[in-house]
Amino acid sequence: MVSTVPGGTITEVLDWVGDDPARAQAALDAERDGANRSTLISQLESIAKEANMSEQTTTESAEETELAPGPEQPTEVELYPGDSGTLVGPVAVRDTDVEADDITVDVDVDQAIEAEQVESVQGIGGSNGAVLVINGNAYAFNAQMVGAVKQAVDRAVVGLAL
């Protein structure tokens, strides 16, 4: 049985509740009938919700839950620029010293784009940029190029089911 919910400040109520879902529910009921403070209500709902979710998780074991096998994902990527679902985006350069003509991929609409398959990727971020390690090769991006890569990836994956 839950003892009487204390009146008082939000801190006093939350101290009394702790992580106890029964107390959180009792305090929630009392708060809705009383002062109805929205900040306290949202915190109490969160405590009660977390407790309910953990109970549901513990009652279902891996043995009870059988997952259907998903579709086999291809390990090799082949893109043909002439296909209706293929998008070839614009080239972004770091600064005016980089000539875009030297870095573009030759696109033949009838042939697959030649590219090395990615087998591993790791991201490392900092306050002034990011490094992507792809297949063991590290590539550094300043903030401008991080934005360009994000935009290029967002455009490229528009039709991709993830």
Last residue of a domain, one of 22, 37, 59: 59
In the chain, the amino acid numbered 28 is L
85 lies in the same domain as 135: yes
What does each C-alpha distance from 117 to 36, 74, 135, 161 come to in angstroms? 57, 11, 9, 19
Identify the helix (H) or strand (E) that includes residue 50: helix 38-59
Last residue of a domain, one of 20, 39, 59: 59
Residue 97 domain flag: yes
44 lies in the same domain as 76: no
25 lies in the same domain as 101: no
Most confident of 14-23, 68-77, 82-91, 96-105: 14-23
- Token pair in block for residue 126: 């900092």
Residue 80 domain flag: yes
Tell me the whole-structure pTM to 2 decimals. Answer: 0.49
Tell me the percentage of the chain whose pLDDT exceeds 70: 85
Q: What count of residues does the chain have?
A: 162
Tell me the percentage of the chain whose pLDDT exceeds 90: 14
CA dihedral sign, ordered 121, 126, 127, 132: negative
Count of structural domains, the chain: 2
Rounded to whole angstroms, the Cα distance separating 28 from 40 reads 8
Structural domain containing residue 54: 10-59
Residue 64 domain flag: no
